[in-house]
Structure 1
């Protein structure tokens, strides 16, 4: 019989695969940006916020903060690389004003992350203290990311259309949330449990809404470009500045 630790590792590997798929979900959008050679109305804010989120989770999973969390480090490390690629594409095709904005936000994030790392290493001397401090920050940013579907769900109810909530994206987000919730429960980790438990809940709500409003959605509206929403206070936008399919990935 498999040990709890072995089962947790298996669940974590499955979670890595699901999360990787979610991190890749904006790829078609950036392919279109490359072909058009213009970012048009797309915003870099969701990707900038995801970069910070990934950096926090990578730091959380390091042995110096929370030992035995390598699977958290691997997926968020991969996510960090993918987000950096997305931002590089955005930077290449964005106007100068947008490029400057991206650089300023990235600089602020690096300063913030540097302050967090220095403060935690110097001020907290046990794994428990470091886990608590970094975990709180991860929960705050993670909860904001998983709360982002609320704006999309509100739009679905208002328009009676699932145009901006692709089914497979919602399904993947739900399964991802469930997988990492199970991972957190197997070796109780409240900081991983809270945001991913919310992710599973919001994912389930999206699927319910999808089945409620699918029939009332015109056929030509069933496909949508996808950006990666990351904050309840930042509405991701497409060509028409409307919220798009929701994804939240943070472990």
Structure 2
């Protein structure tokens, strides 16, 4: 196989993995919809927190910026998935602000302004770095750290599932979407030889596998227990 043919196949495989990652990401972006249906129906945010959406917005901003040609080469599909993610998170934050109590609303607005301010500093600061490779490394390390911390957040849910021996708090489709999206971008990063993409998504893939194993283990165990015959007394 010629070098040109190998390069072409690698590019096609990379683009296919990136497109798949964009599609699977919709599962994650759509997962809060049941929560917001409840919020809009009840007219209150109740005990729900707006922090996950603020944090996700920050993560999308940093990764979006990393994917642009001003920072890294040939990462358009990273920009597209995070642009869509930023739109979803923005809509969720707006809805949360509409129904939140005054104290929650003020706190969330303060955090939103802080996120916008931090991102502006990262954006302007990185543009002051004249060397494109140094700029890529600077933003890449930030995006990598942000992704790793985001993928580490399910550790709490994993611990809860093991403690309670219940999958009630770990929706199957959310775990599946996390696994599929992480695996897609793991392959995308490998084909693009980009450690800032394949390292955090490799961690996300491992955690996704752990979640799916736990889901099927406790789901089958629960089905087996519920299927056991009741004790019959012949006295």
Q: TM-score, normalised by structure 1?
A: 0.84
Higher relative contact order (CA 8 A, sep 6+): 1
By percentage of residues, which structure has more helix?
A: 2
2:105 to 84, 99, 109: 99
CA distance in structure 2 between the partners assigned to 1:126 and 1:10 by the alignment: 31
1:195 to 197, 200, 212: 200
* CA deviations over 1:81-132 (Å, ceiling 9, x no partner): 110000111000000111101111111111111111111111x112211110
* CA deviations over 1:20-60 (Å, ceiling 9, x no partner): 22111111111111111111000000000001000001110
* Matched residue, 1:167: 172
* Matched residue, 2:227: none
Matched, 1:85 2:100: no
Deviation at 1:188, TM superposition (A): 0.7
* Matched residue, 1:28: 34
Structure with higher Rg: it is 2
Q: Which runs of 5+ in 1 are unaligned?
A: 219-251
Matched, 1:147 2:152: yes
Q: The residue matched to 1:214 in structure 2 has which SS?
A: helix
Task: Note if contact 1:181-1:193 (Cα within 8 Å) is conserved in structure 2.
Answer: yes
* Matched residue, 1:60: 66
Deviation at 1:181, TM superposition (A): 0.3
Q: Which runs of 5+ in 2 are unaligned?
A: 224-235
Task: Note if contact 1:156-1:162 (Cα within 8 Å) is conserved in structure 2.
Answer: yes
* Matched residue, 2:183: 178
CA distance in structure 1 between the partners assigned to 2:110 and 2:134 by the alignment: 31
Task: Note if contact 2:27-2:174 (Cα within 8 Å) is conserved in structure 1.
Answer: no
Deviation at 1:211, TM superposition (A): 1.7
1:131 to 132, 136, 151: 136
1:111 to 117, 124, 139: 117
Q: The residue matched to 1:40 in structure 2 has which SS?
A: coil
Task: Note if contact 2:27-2:173 (Cα within 8 Å) is conserved in structure 1.
Answer: no
CA distance in structure 1 between the partners assigned to 2:119 and 2:174 by the alignment: 30
CA distance in structure 2 between the partners assigned to 1:209 and 1:178 by the alignment: 18
- Aligned CA RMSD, in angstroms, stands at 1.5
CA distance in structure 1 between the partners assigned to 2:95 and 2:134 by the alignment: 39
* Matched residue, 2:18: 12
